[in-house]
A and B are shown apart, each in its own frame.
Chain A
Amino acid sequence: MKPIPDFRHLVLAALFALPAPPADGAEPPATAGRPSHQQSARLHGDARPPPIETPPLPEGMSLDEVLDYAATPPPAGFPDSVPDDRIYAFVLVEQFEARFPTGAGSDHLGWEAQGWIGGDFHKFWWKNEGEAILDGLDEGESETDLLYSRLLTPFWNVQAGVQYANEWNRGEYDDRWSATLALQGLAPYKFELDNSLYLSEDGHLTAAIEAEYDVRITQRLVLQPRTEVGLSAQDVPERGLGAGLTDVTLDLRLRYEIKREFAPYLGLRYRFLVGETDAIAESAGEDTEEFLLLAGLRFAF
């Protein structure tokens, strides 16, 4: 009796029975529509190959036993053949630097770090950046993002989580939680991008766009221009933010990679406020731009 082909066979057969391309000079065949090993196995499920001479078998096993064994997953006691789903962790401190203003103002310690722990596709990702007065560190601010990160495409991670931001000034302390959504990855032409959206507990929507690029001068000397742009969807007077573009930071760092994960650097920073935010600062009699010299260390572990 002939077995009735099941539906999947028909679909597959239809798929592969598309008109064969004419021989020479025509479009070459395309990979789409050619069978993978699963599809091929499905198509040939009923085949009976010619008998062959039985090779030496494992001691104490018949051919049937070996063939039955082969069709099942390995015994529970066996280790993984390749532990390709291992968890890795990585920390990169991109900036750990002294910031010296060229004009008035005090010297600062600045830092920006990120790290992750996880597999190839799913990770816990954290980012932390901040700044404090170099002398005593008793006035400063920091932002910490705690994110679930998923590799969505080969070059792009989508990240979601929370941000904790705080400010301290001697006795005073202020903090803020925000929900965070980020897109981090490598853009064409090898720009590293990190774009984040923040919705604060007060309902304020802000965004930060960071982009950096490595200009390799030699195999170890690297010039890195970097820019960070802040945006706000609304006026937030208590944070001195006006709606629209708020501030722009332009950095240039020249690092020497003694090791890939140990690179001292010197740099420049120009930071200025924009639009409404600039106006707010100006009316409060604060500086609206600053120019800084940077000296620091980039390291990873």
Chain B
Amino acid sequence: MNPSPLSSPTGSITRRRFLATGAAAALAPVASSGAAGRAGEFGELNATAPGGIDLHLEYKSLLVGGRPGRAITINGSIPGPVIRMQEGREALIRVHNHLPESTSIHWHGILLPFTMDGVPGISFAGIDAGTIFTYRYPVRQNGTYWYHSHTGLQEQLGHYGQLILDPAGRDPVGYDVEHSVVLSDWTFEDPHRVLRKLKAIEGYYNFQRPALANLDDQMKATGKSLREVIKKRLAWDRMRMDPTDIADITGATYSYLMNGKTAEENPVFLARPGQRVRFRIVNASTMTFYDVRIPGLPMTVVQADGQDIQPVETDELRIAVAETYDVVVTQPDDRAYTLFAETMDRSGYARGTLSSRRGMEAAVPPPRRRPMLTMADMGMMLPDKEQQGASRQARPAPVRGRHPLPTTNLPDRIKHGPAGHGPASITMAETAYRRLDYPGAGLGDDGWRVLTYSQLRVLRRPYGRRAPTRQFDLHLTGNMHKYVWGFDGRKWSESDLIRFQYGERLRINMINDTMMSHPIHLHGMWMDLYAGGGLDDNPRKHTVIVQPAELLTVDITADAPGQWAFHCHLLYHMEAGMFRTVAVVRSLKGGPVEADP
């Protein structure tokens, strides 16, 4: 990315150089869409600098992995420019829509007035073709975030970039060099065709299914006899489920990108021996969970979703779609190290190289075996142990007044009731349970450390945290056979507004009835994740992974009046209906309000 020597202790030389390119890009007229440029050559802009910034959106033919594709570019590249903001100042961004269609930009994880949130149909009507929309809002936080289109399937076409919000005070994270790492997935297919295929043919992109040819492989991997393997497969078949259904869209169509570059193009991150490198990692994919590691180098995780956390040293972390993590590593010597981002289903990977000069590369790790779902993902065959003495009392307070709910030792499991959620939901789990210690399918058996949510602890207790006084359950539901996704068995178009009362402290117990992991994102407000800690140290997140058969609890302070999106961040799940409008209102009185009247 940056070939110049990096000597500044704060990385400000990097920043200044970026700013120069950014300013040039802002002043330049819209680039002509003639010759194909390369994806992955992005600049940097400062949105809180005087005069603000301009973003130009246009379709452009770009070389992705050497092959021309039609991308939505922001100032000429995918990803779009890194946008910096200074905490305490006002951001000013003019978005010029040169696309032949409506568009939008959502500032992911940013606290702002709801009309600036960039969700068509909720925050505003969208940015019409040929028009300019001005975003203006005070910057009240710091950390690593990102931005992306919230219109249709535009995100799949490259409409995303990284946000870096510099703290007003001293940055608790010490580092010498910083590098942006934007992970994404790219297809040369029309995204709408992709969705149609998913709706029409189950498992369209899964080429790692159980087959006679991989019986032997499964026997070797599991150490089970042929008979046992067949028995297991028949058990899954009986339930009409596929244990290899880890990712809906796979390497069969995706090119996996790091900073817009494929693994072959090998983006380079420079650091001199002894320097501490801060990687600001954003997963800007539409559908791909990545498992990130740097073989040979431990990573110290210092931020999760833009929030400073108590540093955790680990060897690998799973980053869901829309999450961000900042990690610090020390470049120990003159050698090259591979920044390896393997997809959760092991159908591909993105990678880059950390080295002290260009032209170096390290070995790319061999692909691991694709994971399979287990009976635990169906809430079965649980070890019947109490997690740290967690109580099983979970009956919600029946009283109408507001009484504080417990904030520690929450119930470790909930038995799934007999009620199904209709044809839009295939509910398999008998029990939903806490899986905060579980790193996820395919992780944890490699002999190295893997980050889990139970390790996340905020650095400082956030302001205004208190015990919630109201709670409800939200079931994550889906019919993977017909590709219908929703909450409580309903799609967005069939749903009511989820009302939060302005000022209340609210608990949502998310229960994943499906066999897939869903990154659930709330706009406008933080979700304080119950990660086994207490009010002092539980992390706060804008996006949380809810694993199969998981019971996951978040507490929210409803401090952002207006209407907000709340959805699964897998783009095609969202488009299929796994989406809600949250309304932060004065009072919860009155009947339900339809989200799509």
What sequence of 0s and 1s flags, for each residue 3-47 of chain A, a beta carbon within 8 Å of any chain B beta carbon? Answer: 001000100010011101101101111111111111111111111
* Beta-carbon contact of B431 and A28 below 8 Å: yes
Residue of A nearest to B389 (CB): A24
Residues of B within 8 A of A154 (CB): 423-426, 479, 481-482
Tell me how far the C-beta of A152 lies from the nearest C-beta in chain B, rounded to whole angstroms: 6
- Indicate the member of A17, A38, A58, A81 with the most B CB atoms within 10 Å: A81
B139 to chain A, nearest CB (A): 10
Of the residues A44, A71, A77, A218, contact of B583 by C-beta under 8 Å: A71
- Contact between B503 and A215 (Cβ–Cβ < 8 Å)? no
Q: Is the CB of A74 within 8 A of B472?
A: no
**Those of B108-145 within 8 Å (CB) of chain A:** 111-116, 119-122, 124-126, 136-138, 140
Of B28-36, B165-173, B193-201, the one with at least 4 CB within 8 A of chain A: B193-201
Task: State whether B393 touches A29 (Cβ < 8 A).
Answer: yes
B472 adjacent to A188 (CB under 8 Å): no
CB atoms of A28 and B581 under 8 A apart: no
The residues of A that contact B121 with a CB separation of less than 8 Å are 74, 78-82
Q: B497 to chain A: which residues have CB within 8 Å?
A: 73
Instruction: Verify if A285 is at the interface (C-beta below 8 Å from B).
Output: no
Give every chain B residue within 8 A of A284 (Cβ-Cβ). Answer: none
Q: Is B413 a contact of A58 with CB atoms below 8 Å?
A: no
Give the residues in chain A near B498, CB-CB below 8 Å.
37
Contact B398 A300 (CB under 8 A): no
A56 at the interface (CB under 8 A from B): yes
Q: Which residues from B are CB-within-8-Å of A83? A: 152, 575
Query: Complex: how many Å from CA A29 to CA B426?
Result: 21
Q: Is B227 an interface residue (CB 8 A)?
A: no
A90 touches which of B200, B411, B563, B590 (Cβ 8 Å): B200
Listed from nearest, the 10 A-B pairs whose CB atoms lie closest are: A32-B417, A84-B577, A81-B121, A29-B394, A49-B503, A40-B472, A16-B398, A17-B398, A58-B115, A31-B417
Digitize B553-567: 1 where CB-to-A-CB distance is under 8 Å, 0 elsewhere.
000011111110101
Given the interface contacts A35-B473, A41-B588, A57-B561, does A82 sit within 8 Å of B482 by beta carbon? Answer: no
Q: In the complex where A30-B417, A74-B563 touch, is A23 in contact with B391 (Cβ < 8 A)?
A: yes
Given contacts A45-B588, A56-B137, A155-B240, contact A51 B503 (CB under 8 A): yes
In the complex with contacts A28-B413, A216-B211, A44-B482 CB distance below 8 A? no
A interface residues, Cβ below 8 angstroms from B: 5, 9, 13, 16-18, 20-21, 23-24, 26-47, 49-53, 55-59, 61, 63-64, 66-75, 77-85, 88, 90, 120-121, 151-155, 186-190, 215-220, 260-261, 300
Q: Does B395 contact A (CB under 8 A)?
A: yes
| 24 A-B pairs whose Cβ atoms sit less than 8 Å apart in the complex | A26-B392, A28-B413, A29-B395, A29-B411, A31-B415, A34-B394, A36-B473, A38-B496, A45-B587, A49-B402, A56-B112, A57-B113, A63-B561, A79-B102, A79-B126, A82-B574, A88-B200, A120-B482, A120-B491, A154-B426, A154-B479, A187-B240, A219-B207, A260-B197
Surface stretch bound by A, among B265-273, B280-288, B320-328, B463-471: B463-471
Asked if B505 is at the interface (CB within 8 A of a chain A CB), the reply is yes
Nearest CB in chain A: distance from B346 CB, A: 14
Q: Are A31 and B200 in contact (CB under 8 A)?
A: no
Question: A13 to B400, Cβ gap below 8 A?
Answer: yes
Cα distance A151–B424 when bound, in Å? Answer: 9
Q: Does B176 have its Cβ within 8 Å of any Cβ on chain A?
A: no
B208 touches A219 (CB 8 A): yes
The answer to whether A47 and B565 have CB atoms under 8 Å apart is: no
Q: Contacts A20-B395, A24-B386; is A49 near B505 (CB within 8 Å)?
A: yes
Q: In the complex, what distance in Å separates the CA atom of A153 from the CA atom of B426?
A: 9
Once the chains bind, are B116 and A58 in contact (CB under 8 Å)? yes
- CA A187 to CA B581, docked complex, whole Å: 36
Cβ-closest chain B residue relative to A18: B395
- A217 to B215 Cα, complex, angstroms: 10
B204 at the interface (CB under 8 A from A): yes
Q: How far is the CA of A154 from the CA of B577 in the complex (A)?
A: 16
Beta-carbon contact of B396 and A21 below 8 Å:
no
Q: Is the CB of B208 within 8 A of A70?
A: no
Interface digits, B239-272 against A, CB 8 Å rule (1 contact, 0 not)?
1100000000000000000000000000000000
A82 to B496, CA, bound (A): 14
Decide if B473 touches A31 in the complex (CB within 8 Å): yes
The answer to whether A47 and B501 touch across the interface, beta carbons within 8 angstroms, is yes
| Beta-carbon contact of B415 and A27 below 8 Å | yes
Is there an interface contact between B414 and A82, defined as CB atoms closer than 8 Å?
no
B423 lies within 8 A of A152 (CB)? yes
Contact partners of B416 in chain A: CB under 8 A:
30-31
Task: Indicate if B593 sits at the interface (CB-CB under 8 A).
Answer: yes
- B400→A34 contact, CB < 8 A: no
List of A residues within 8 angstroms of B464 by Cβ: 52
Assess whether B393 is in contact with A20, with CB atoms less than 8 Å apart: yes
Chain B residues positioned under 8 Å from A52 (CB to CB): 464, 502-503, 557, 559
Which residues in B have their C-beta under 8 angstroms from that of A190?
237, 240
Distance of B486 from chain A, by nearest CB (Å): 8
Whether, in the assembled complex, B219 has its beta carbon less than 8 Å from a beta carbon of chain A, the answer is no
- Chain B residues with Cβ below 8 Å from A30 are 414-417
| Cβ A79 vs Cβ B120 within 8 A | yes
Q: What chain B residues lie within 8 Å of A71 (beta carbons)?
A: 499, 583, 585-587, 590, 593
Q: Which residues of B contact A41 (CB under 8 A)?
A: 499, 588, 592
A58 touches B237 (CB 8 A): no
The residue in chain B whose Cβ has the minimal distance to the Cβ of A121 is B423
Which residues of B316-373 have CB atoms within 8 Å of chain A's CB atoms?
none
Excluding A28-B412, A59-B136, A188-B239, 20 further A-B contacts by CB distance (< 8 Å) are: A30-B414, A31-B473, A34-B509, A44-B588, A47-B470, A49-B501, A58-B115, A66-B114, A68-B586, A70-B562, A70-B583, A81-B119, A81-B122, A84-B575, A84-B576, A151-B482, A188-B237, A216-B210, A217-B213, A260-B204
Which residues of chain A come closer than 8 Å to B395, judged between CB atoms?
Answer: 16, 18, 20-21, 29, 34
Asked if B595 contacts A28 (CB within 8 A), the reply is no
Partner of B588, one of A13, A47, A66, A90: A47
CB of B234 within 8 A of CB of A189, answer yes
User: Which residues of chain A are near B412, meaning CB under 8 Å?
Assistant: 28
From 28 to 86 in chain B, residues with beta carbon under 8 angstroms from any chain A beta carbon are none
Q: In the bound complex, what is the Cα–Cα distance between A43 and B397 (angstroms)? A: 10
Indicate whether B401 reaches chain A with its CB closer than 8 angstroms: yes
Q: How far is the CA of A71 from the CA of B563 in the complex (A)?
A: 8
Q: Is the CB of A39 within 8 A of B472?
A: yes
The answer to the question of B488 belonging to the interface, with a C-beta cut-off of 8 Å to chain A, is yes
Is B419 located at the chain interface by the 8 A CB criterion? yes
Chain A residues in 8 Å Cβ range of B518: none
A37 and B482 form a contact (CB under 8 A): no
Q: Please tell me if the beta carbons of A88 and B504 are within 8 angstroms of each other in the complex.
A: no
CA separation between A59 and B592, bound complex, in Å?
28
- Nearest Cβ on chain B to A217's Cβ, whole angstroms: 5
Chain B residues contacting A43 (CB-CB under 8 Å) are 400, 470
Cβ–Cβ contact B502 & A49, under 8 A: yes
* Given A16-B396, A70-B563, A79-B102, A218-B213 contact (CB < 8 Å): yes
Residues of chain B lying within 8 A (CB to CB) of residue A9: 400
Residues 568-597 of chain B, each 1 if its beta carbon lies under 8 Å from chain A, else 0: 000000111101010111111110111111
Cα separation A101 to B526 with both chains bound (whole Å): 69
B186 interface hit (Cβ, 8 Å): no
> Judging by beta carbons under 8 Å apart, are A56 and B499 in contact?
no
Inside 8 A of A152's CB, which chain B residues have their CB?
423
Is there an interface contact between A56 and B425, defined as CB atoms closer than 8 Å?
no
Let me know if A36 and B472 touch, CB within 8 A.
Answer: yes
Given A72-B593, A260-B204, the answer on whether A80 and B472 have CB atoms closer than 8 Å is no
Q: How far is the CA of A218 from the CA of B217 in the complex (A)?
A: 12
Tell me the complex Cα distance, A79–B590, Å: 25
B333 to chain A, nearest CB (A): 42
